[in-house]
Amino acid sequence: MLSDVSPSSQVAMADPAVPTVGVEEEFLLLDPVTGENVPVAEQVRADLPEGVREHSRPEFRRSMVEMVSPVCRSLAELSYHLRRHRRAAALAARGVGARLTAIGATPMREPDLSVPEGDRYRLMAERFGTIAREPGLCGLHVHVGVPDRELAVQVCAHLRGWMPLIQAMTANSPIFNGVDTGHASWRAVQIQRWPSLGPSPVFGSAAEYDAAVAGLIESGAMIDSGMTFWYARLSDRYPTVEIRVGDVCATARDTVLIAGLLRALVATVSEDARTGVPVPDVADCLVHAAHWRAAREGLDGELFDLRTGRARPAWELVEDLLTAVTPALVRHGDLHTVLASLDGLRRFGTGAARQRRVLQTTGSVPETLGTLARLTVNG
């Protein structure tokens, strides 16, 4: 979850014109030689310097660490914190013989499938069995400030049609068990096993949303509201909409790009909701199909456009998104940053595309992961 608001951010939050933004990034700790996961997250967190350690969180696998930004007003502020946290965590990982790696799914093997200390993780492991004993998966969670819960519910509904594209833009997990899976985001395939995960349902009110969450807990599909793993959801602890559809991005630059686009998209669909623009009526089966296509293709093929019902080149959908959110990007002062970062994404590709290029050139998964570890810190 997001860390406490810094004093400078508290001042900025008085201006409602620009929504706040915060990011959670999950990372794997990998053996530099074999590429296997190493269960040293506790040691890594302990070795983080003051000022960074409090922005780290344990995760469901002992080979994972989560780094959490403060609440930010500007993308420059967010970029500073993301890069600082990545550098510090990478240095701490190196100190215990591991590489901090921004990758969406375990690329080789997870030798230690035990869960960290804590009643919640223990209960999850007991209830969900083999689902909870899978290798580590790392996501990107972006929080955008939406203080009105009724509006936030409508925002989640309006976001549904854009979530497959965000999934494609963040795709960063093509390798599993040492081979290319044929999917740009293998994480997106693996996480489908959780019963409370998927596209956000459409609700008419916050009361309906809360009733559905309570029903999922009563059914046993969730142990608590924190397991509401919808791709866009209302945060339990903060006045935000949390978008959690994406793989962790290979580079901090790509994370900032996605955060800027999502903040602008939330602002755009918030206005749609306020003015009574209806939520597009799209069959759930087509939404799931669009997510499958996004997980398979990334940005290197065609995606299923839920607005037109047609398969289209992925970058055409990116341009559509940019057109839709440009007014908000201008208001937020983010247009230049987003355009420059989009140009980089177009030239270098997603994390999945970067991994595949190295793998095809070298034939070595460990070498591919070494390149990705360097991008984690320097990108």
The residue segments making up the domain with residue 90 are: 7-378
20 touches 240 (CB < 8 A): yes
Which string of b and e fits 113-152 if b means at least 16 CB within 10 Å? bebbeeeebeebbeebeeebebbbbbbbbbbbbbeeeebb
Establish if 1 belongs to a structural domain: no
CA distance between the termini of the chain: 24
How many CB atoms within 10 Å of residue 158?
23
Establish if 121 belongs to a structural domain: yes
- Regarding beta strands 229-230 and 197-198, do their DSSP bridges make them parallel or antiparallel, or are they unpaired? parallel
Backbone angles phi, psi at 110, to 5 degrees: -115, 90
Q: How many Å apart are CA 163 and CA 244, to the nearest integer?
A: 9
Nearest CA among 7, 21, 23, 24 for reference residue 72: 21
| CA 78 to mean position of chain CA atoms | 15
DSSP 255-312: HHHHHHHHHHHHHHHHHHHHTTPPPP---HHHHHHHHHHHHHHTTSSEEEETTTTEEE
Establish if 367 belongs to a structural domain: yes
Establish if 2 belongs to a structural domain: no
What's the pLDDT at 8?
42
Per-position pLDDT tens, the chain of length 379: 344 444 343 334 435 689 999 999 999 999 999 999 999 999 999 999 999 999 999 998 999 999 999 999 999 999 999 999 999 999 999 999 999 999 999 999 988 888 887 889 889 999 999 998 889 999 999 999 999 999 999 999 999 999 999 999 999 999 999 999 999 999 999 999 999 999 999 999 999 999 999 999 999 999 999 999 999 999 999 999 999 999 999 999 999 999 999 999 999 999 999 999 999 999 999 999 999 999 999 999 999 999 999 999 999 999 999 999 999 999 999 999 999 999 999 999 999 999 999 999 999 999 999 999 999 999 9
Establish if 226 belongs to a structural domain: yes
What's the pLDDT at 73?
96
Establish if 214 belongs to a structural domain: yes
What's the pLDDT at 16?
62
Q: Quick one: angle between helices 335-348 and 314-332, nearest 10?
A: 160
Domain holding 182: CATH number?
A: 3.30.590.20
Establish if 370 belongs to a structural domain: yes
Segment holding 368, helix H or strand E: helix 365-378
What's the pLDDT at 114?
83
* DSSP SS3 for 2: coil
What's the pLDDT at 39?
96
DSSP 142-194: EEEE---HHHHHHHHHHHGGGHHHHHHHH--B-EETTEE-S-SBHHHHHGGGS
What's the pLDDT at 118?
80
Question: What is residue 72's DSSP assignment?
Answer: B
Residues 6+ apart with CB under 8 A from 199: 160, 163, 230, 231, 284, 287, 288, 291
Establish if 284 belongs to a structural domain: yes
279 touches 289 (CB < 8 A): no
Q: State how many domains the chain has.
A: 1
* DSSP SS3 for 24: strand
pTM to 2 decimal places: 0.94
Two tokens, residue 35: 């590429």
